[in-house]
Amino acid sequence: MTDTLPIAVANLAARISAKLWEFPTVSVRGRLSKVTASAAGHCYFTVSDPSGEVSFRCAMWRGYFKASKVAPVNGMAAVVTGRVSLNDAGCVQLMVTKVAVWEGES
């Protein structure tokens, strides 16, 4: 047992979020699913490994989505580029700035 006082869930999330922003921009390849566009013009989707066992939720803000040369599509093999972050629910997600078609092997 530790002698320190426990911290609030929100405080832990804030600490984790600050550390995640220290990671550089990453590019991840996988299969896209659950692609949806919001009324505000943002795009949300999931990128998964071939087994489907590991996945990340992704958010692509309106400006990046509108400027994207490739639109995310369900089932697409893609490379997504962005920053790792923690969303408001405390889940890890990718803040995507670019989507490209992946034509290599899984």
> Tens of pLDDT along 71-96?
999 999 999 999 999 888 888 999 99
The pLDDT value recorded for residue 89 is 85
- Please tell us whether the domain made up of 9-101 is placed in CATH 2.120.10.90: no
Q: How many residues appear in the chain?
A: 106
**pTM for this entry:** 0.85
Cα 15 to chain centroid, rounded: 18
Domain parsing of the chain, residue ranges: 9-101
The answer for residues whose C-beta is within 8 angstroms of residue 90's C-beta and 6 or more apart is: 9, 13
> Tens of pLDDT along 26-77?
999 999 999 999 999 999 999 999 888 999 999 999 999 999 999 999 999 9
